Structure 1
Amino acid sequence: MTPPPSPSPPHSPFSGFFSVFRYSRSALTLVWETSRWMMLGLALCTLVAGVLPAVAAWVGQLIVDGVVAAMESYQAASSPSLLETLTPVLGLVALEGLIIALIALAQRGLSAQQSLLRAMLGNKVNVMILEKAGTLSLGQFEDSELYDKLTRARREASTRPLALVNKTFGLLQNAISLASFGFLLVQFSPWALLILVAGALPVFLSEAKFSGDAFRLFRWRSPQARMQMYLETVLAREDSIKEVKLFGLEPLFLQRYRDIFNRLFVEERLLTLRRESWGFILGLLGTLTFYAAYGWVVVETIVGALTLGQMTMYLMVFKQGQGALSASLTAISGMYEDNLYLSNLYEYLEHPTDVEEGHLTQGVAPGDGLRFEHVSFSYPGGGEVLHDISLHLMPGSSLALVGENGSGKTTLIKLLTRLYHPTKGRILLDGSDLKSWDTQALRERVGVIFQDFVRYQLTVGENLGVGDTQAFEDEQRWQQAAHNGMADEFITRMPSGYQTQLGRWFKNGQELSGGQWQKVALSRAYMRKNADILVLDEPTAAMDAAAEAEVFARFREHSRDKMTILISHRFSTVRSAEHIVVIDQGHIIEQGTHESLLEDNGRYASLFHLQAEGYR
């Protein structure tokens, strides 16, 4: 398997290269917003570390020439005392020592501030990613392309902004050093600068080219890498390991994991070998140019055009200049690569979201209840899941939805909670379209338990508290909700009661049975005191018959003045609803009371008798 071809080249050979740097400003702004003082500190340390190496080289020349002059003066007949001879040279040595200490201090300052910024910025970017996730709709989360963007952003982008800023300051530092070195080298010969550039440029072009290849490989492999992450999760999570072991899936999934790695590694190995081979070959050019300049300076010194101190300075300046230029070009190449990866972050952050424009906190016809008017729904690129659904549920009434798995029952609930929007038709609450309602106000009125409810790795009380974030830590509300949901019976027997850690991810965590988890989820729905729409999607599938009967007895008691919607395959539960709707492949095929539907002798009656036969 090979990566797809690269995109068509831009008009100019370098326009694509330079256009990708548009994210540099965003990264600098991001770091500035994270900590202005640290960014100013980075700038100061960069300036010091950039200027002082050239100053140190110049002082080094003065020391060598001073030593030569002192030796000649001391050996002459009219020489002054040894102390007078040494004092100027030793002063220069002390000055160079001070300069070297300041350079070391600046480097330590850079290192310390970069380390602190790395932690702060990593957290800031991760928070930005999660905040953006909070604005995405359920449909967008189910879009595989957007999910790939999210995965790429989380894997790389949290470290790239600081890396880009570090390289930017490193480039600035090396540019300052180069300007200082260039000022000294041009006094030797302008050709020395040309040699300096010629030695470093080929490696730079090579690195830039392979950075782009590496980024394209990274994007191409995102779906496969996500499958690897999924297989890791399945093979190492307590909620899947039971089936993995019982069905003997370890060898199958591990082999698939290895196969994905092998496919990806072939491309990565080829890219790495090409990158390092060309880097070595082109790097030799830089070495050759340095030694050519080395020989030139030596010859000039031998013929008397340069002093010994000047020779020492020029060799040092040329060597350090070559290193600074190489580091600058490498930084530019790295900045190019960081910008490529930052495009993942900003593609994700700039992804358009569904704008919620609703502002209503109450409907225009209070007491009218819930209406579905000719509602249809289709997934993007798929067929209709619901077709022409019309229902009316008044306050204090109950509705049961019956149908085979995949008939559209749960999708109907997702439309009610505005996780999805109807493709056609509209849904009204108290006479106002759901689109006109404030999202928070709407969802405060709905208490829902989905059949795939979340088992939070939190304490028992917090597992209840998530049902109403305003009462997240209200223990009195926990206890009342647990009583209504019949969870208090087993919670009081747990080691730390409502403070008991649930799940196996953390120390001393307790695992619950399926039925106990369902009671926790049911209690979670009771946390919403303001909810006048209660939705139970298969709420007792894991409970025994006696527990189920008591759950619904309490449910009827607490929902007398509320609108209730029940999804269940158990007709002993369904028959208690005032109105029953039978859905088949997204269509309402029957509706009425339990008695009227039995009299009609249609699908409902057939399913009811089929289930009743199993209990005889």
Structure 2
Amino acid sequence: MKNNRNMFTIAIKSIGFAWQTNRRLLILLMLFNIFQGAVVYLQFTSFASIVDEIIRIKQGTGTTNQLVWSSVVLGLSFLVPLIIGNIASHYRMIFRMQQSVQLELYKIERQGKLDIGTIESSSYQNLLRSAQEWGTGSLLNLQDFFFNSANNFAGIITSITILWSLNQWLVVFAVLAAAPVYFFYKKYSMEVFRIRYFSIDDHRIINNRISHFEELQKAVDVILLKLQNWLKGQIRDRKVAFNNKIIVAERKKAISYSIMSLWYLLFLFAAIALMTREALADRIAVGGLLLAFTTYTRFYQTINGYIESISYAEEASRYAARWFDLFDMQPRIVSKQNAARFDITEPPLIEFDNVSFRYPAEEGETPLVLQQLSFTIKPGEKVAIVGVNGSGKTTLIKLLCRIYDPTEGNIYVNGINLKDIQLEDWQSALGILFQDFPVYNLTIRESIGVGRIEENGELPTQKEERLKQAALYSGADDFIKDYDQLIWKEFAGGIDLSKGQHQRLAVARMFYRNAAVTILDEPTASIDAVTEEKIFSTLERNMQGKTVILITHRFSTVKNADKIILLEQGRIIEYGSHKELMQLHKQYASLYNMQAKRYLENDEPAPADTTSLID
């Protein structure tokens, strides 16, 4: 019963969302369902009255008026539920739409409050993927279960009342006939759902293999590498294995339901015998006999249908529970209650004081990624962070952005511990371009403009001038013909950009943001050498007085930095200007000369990224 209790708990939570959205409509829909569950028995009783009245008329004791009245009631018992059902369907559609919007906005609100470290965690990602199996529709399906429950309970109570009024033993027979439904359902019907539930990973793999035929980049490999038969075999084998499990479970279910049907028939015959005896003894009329039979069979169908619906509700509750778990997640990185407000318009002094860091783990302890880092970035300095892959460069930036907090040591901004500064204030002072930059499927104007979406009192003409200036600095102006052009081939009239062009737009966003501290993580990885030189020249000319922190593998781009930090396995092994580090003749000089030699030995210049817009 634990699963059922959990299901009802989750269902009640989903109803809580419904109550907050539109409580009046929720109550109205509940009343509609109660009415529809009970009114069907009015049809039975009305028809029974007509039959009895016809017999009485033939016997000379009945009246035509009573027959007409019973006929009118019977007609209304069909007409009114039909009208109410149409009204209920209309309002249920409106209610689901309202709920869908409310849930989606609430989900976005809750996810928007999480910090990046929480979003990066494996627990969050696993929970999100599990919740997305059914989407937020699983919450709406649980609300449907409540509405159906109201309908079914109204029918069950009404049918028990009718049977009890005719003969109390009919209630006993009906309950005994329906009792095994729950136990057979738990033993066999749930097995099918367990198979589906525990086969989620198989379905993910199947969907992944199918995506190779549907997604353009994957489809190219399928065609060129002749992977069709191999992928088809994987899809077939997993689908066949899954189907065989379902067939076995369904066979058991069919056998169990056959046994249950025999049990039902046993009590049905007993009920029919009882009804017949009562009718022969004139304790119930012929119409009452019909009423007893239809009510008895309807009772069983209602019980059976309701218990069957529990299976779908339990399935929905599993995924809905994941959404509620996501909604309940709290960010790990938050501002302190009395955090200092920080209006950073000028580049601050940044100090790393003996900072060490390890990524948080769900279990156990991960190794240190950064170890005892101590250095200072003066206001307006250009600092380059270099090192081989895995040396800790991006992790250092994540600490500076306060995506994570140091495991040991502290980071100070103008002498204030970064943990004591209002998080939003600090992040608003940063302009960040990570290597894995997002692609916004917006207009070109909007794609650049999201770099500083909040209002800052500028006139539209000033914003337009700054936006075009950002495009000029990044080299994006070379391919922009229309700033209102949509970016995405799937849009009507949209265009595709090359990866390098997308990166130039990302750099333009950074220029448009014009932050006090600009952080660039491999900003020119997909850009040709000519544009790269243009961007870095622009940085030197137009970022005077601004703090710029650059992460790169290209040592040729860091020569003009004020300070260079060379990381190796999370430690600073060299720190100084390009000239100072070259004079040391150590690791930095070796890496720089290695790259310079490779460029000199290349007879042909690197090809320029000349990919143009494709309409």
Deviation at 1:393, TM superposition (A): 0.5
Return the letter of the residue paired with 1:144: S
After TM superposition, list the pairs within 5 Å mapping 1:58-73 onto structure 2: 58-73=45-60
Pick one of 9, 19, 27 that aligns with 1:40.
27
Q: Tell me what 1:202 maps to.
A: 180
**Partners of 1:151 and 1:226 within 8 A in 2:** no
How far apart, in 2, do the equivalents of 1:242 and 1:435 lie? 48
Deviation at 1:434, TM superposition (A): 2.0
Return the letter of the residue paired with 1:193: V
- Comparing 231-240 and 591-600, the one that deviates more: 231-240
Deviations 1:323-362 (A, max 9, x none): 2333343345554444344322222222343150243332
Return the letter of the residue paired with 1:485: S
How far apart, in 1, do the equivalents of 2:465 and 2:251 lie? 64
Deviation at 1:583, TM superposition (A): 0.9
How far apart, in 2, do the equivalents of 1:615 and 1:19 lie? 64
After TM superposition, list the pairs within 5 Å mapping 1:411-490 onto structure 2: 411-470=395-454, 475-490=464-479
Q: Tell me what 1:93 maps to.
A: 71
Pick one of 340, 344, 351 that aligns with 2:329.
351
Deviation at 1:470, TM superposition (A): 1.5
**Partners of 1:200 and 1:329 within 8 A in 2:** no
Deviation at 1:216, TM superposition (A): 5.0
- Comparing 283-292 and 498-507, the one that deviates more: 283-292
**Partners of 1:52 and 1:99 within 8 A in 2:** yes
**Partners of 1:46 and 1:172 within 8 A in 2:** yes
**Partners of 2:386 and 2:565 within 8 A in 1:** yes
Q: Tell me what 1:11 maps to.
A: none
Q: Tell me what 1:369 maps to.
A: 349
SS state of the match for residue 165, structure 2? coil
**Partners of 1:34 and 1:121 within 8 A in 2:** yes
Pick one of 503, 518, 525 that aligns with 1:541.
525
CA gap 1:448/1:602 in 2 versus in 1, 3 angstroms:
same
Q: Tell me what 1:378 maps to.
A: 358
Task: List runs of 5+ in structure 2 lacking aligned partners.
Answer: 601-615
Deviation at 1:454, TM superposition (A): 1.2
Structure 1 residue ranges (4+ consecutive) displaced by more than 6 angstroms after TM superposition:
363-367
Pair 1:498-2:501 in alignment = no
Q: Tell me what 1:407 maps to.
A: 391
**Partners of 1:54 and 1:181 within 8 A in 2:** yes
Pair 1:513-2:498 in alignment = yes
Q: Tell me what 1:321 maps to.
A: 299
**Percentage of pairs with the same residue:** 27
How far apart, in 2, do the equivalents of 1:168 and 1:256 lie? 41
After TM superposition, list the pairs within 5 Å mapping 1:131-142 onto structure 2: 131-142=109-120
Deviation at 1:207, TM superposition (A): 2.5
Q: Tell me what 1:162 maps to.
A: 140
Return the letter of the residue paired with 1:515: G
CA gap 1:404/1:21 in 2 versus in 1, 3 angstroms:
same
How far apart, in 2, do the equivalents of 1:544 and 1:371 lie? 34
Q: Tell me what 1:79 maps to.
A: none
**Partners of 2:117 and 2:332 within 8 A in 1:** no
**Partners of 2:346 and 2:516 within 8 A in 1:** no
SS state of the match for residue 466, structure 1? helix
CA gap 1:207/1:508 in 2 versus in 1, 3 angstroms:
farther
How far apart, in 2, do the equivalents of 1:111 and 1:543 lie? 56
Deviation at 1:501, TM superposition (A): 1.7
Deviation at 1:277, TM superposition (A): 4.1
Q: Tell me what 2:102 maps to.
A: 124
**Partners of 1:450 and 1:538 within 8 A in 2:** yes
- Comparing 419-428 and 173-182, the one that deviates more: 173-182
**Partners of 1:485 and 1:519 within 8 A in 2:** yes
Return the letter of the residue paired with 1:37: R
Pick one of 571, 574, 579 that aligns with 2:558.
574
CA gap 1:601/1:244 in 2 versus in 1, 3 angstroms:
farther
**Partners of 1:374 and 1:388 within 8 A in 2:** yes
How far apart, in 2, do the equivalents of 1:383 and 1:524 lie? 35
Deviations 1:392-437 (A, max 9, x none): 1011111111111221111111111122222221222222222222
Deviation at 1:554, TM superposition (A): 0.7
SS state of the match for residue 422, structure 1? coil
Deviation at 1:153, TM superposition (A): 1.6
Deviation at 1:62, TM superposition (A): 1.9
How far apart, in 2, do the equivalents of 1:257 and 1:127 lie? 36
**Partners of 1:447 and 1:535 within 8 A in 2:** yes
Deviations 1:108-158 (A, max 9, x none): 233333333333323333333333332333333333333221122222252
**Partners of 1:51 and 1:180 within 8 A in 2:** yes
CA gap 1:35/1:528 in 2 versus in 1, 3 angstroms:
same
**Partners of 2:434 and 2:522 within 8 A in 1:** yes
Deviations 1:563-597 (A, max 9, x none): 11112222221111011111111111111111111
Pick one of 16, 25, 38 that aligns with 2:12.
25
SS state of the match for residue 170, structure 1? helix
Q: Tell me what 2:604 maps to.
A: none
TM-score by length of 1: 0.87
**Partners of 1:211 and 1:336 within 8 A in 2:** no
Return the letter of the residue paired with 1:375: V
How far apart, in 2, do the equivalents of 1:317 and 1:29 lie? 34
**Partners of 2:519 and 2:548 within 8 A in 1:** yes
**Partners of 1:582 and 1:588 within 8 A in 2:** yes
Deviations 1:443-479 (A, max 9, x none): 1111111111112222211211221222699544432
How far apart, in 2, do the equivalents of 1:560 and 1:226 lie? 51
Q: Tell me what 1:360 maps to.
A: 340
How far apart, in 2, do the equivalents of 1:263 and 1:140 lie? 37
- Comparing 52-61 and 217-226, the one that deviates more: 217-226
Return the letter of the residue paired with 1:161: L
CA gap 1:218/1:142 in 2 versus in 1, 3 angstroms:
farther
Deviation at 1:562, TM superposition (A): 1.1
CA gap 1:556/1:241 in 2 versus in 1, 3 angstroms:
farther
Q: Tell me what 1:52 maps to.
A: 39
Return the letter of the residue paired with 1:350: D
**Partners of 1:46 and 1:106 within 8 A in 2:** no
Deviation at 1:47, TM superposition (A): 3.0
**Partners of 2:117 and 2:404 within 8 A in 1:** yes
Pair 1:395-2:379 in alignment = yes
**Partners of 2:357 and 2:368 within 8 A in 1:** yes
Pair 1:589-2:576 in alignment = no
Deviation at 1:517, TM superposition (A): 1.7
CA gap 1:521/1:594 in 2 versus in 1, 3 angstroms:
same
How far apart, in 2, do the equivalents of 1:255 and 1:138 lie? 39
How far apart, in 1, do the equivalents of 2:427 and 2:79 lie? 63
Deviations 1:16-71 (A, max 9, x none): 54354222321221112222232122122123223323333222222111111112
How far apart, in 2, do the equivalents of 1:557 and 1:253 lie? 53
Deviations 1:499-519 (A, max 9, x none): 212233433332222322221
Task: List runs of 5+ in structure 1 lacking aligned partners.
Answer: 1-13, 75-83
How far apart, in 1, do the equivalents of 2:205 and 2:403 lie? 26
How far apart, in 1, do the equivalents of 2:519 and 2:512 lie? 13
TM-score by length of 2: 0.87
Deviations 1:279-335 (A, max 9, x none): 343244334433442343234324544321221221222222222333343345554
Q: Tell me what 2:155 maps to.
A: 177
**Partners of 1:244 and 1:250 within 8 A in 2:** yes
CA gap 1:50/1:265 in 2 versus in 1, 3 angstroms:
closer
Return the letter of the residue paired with 2:350: L
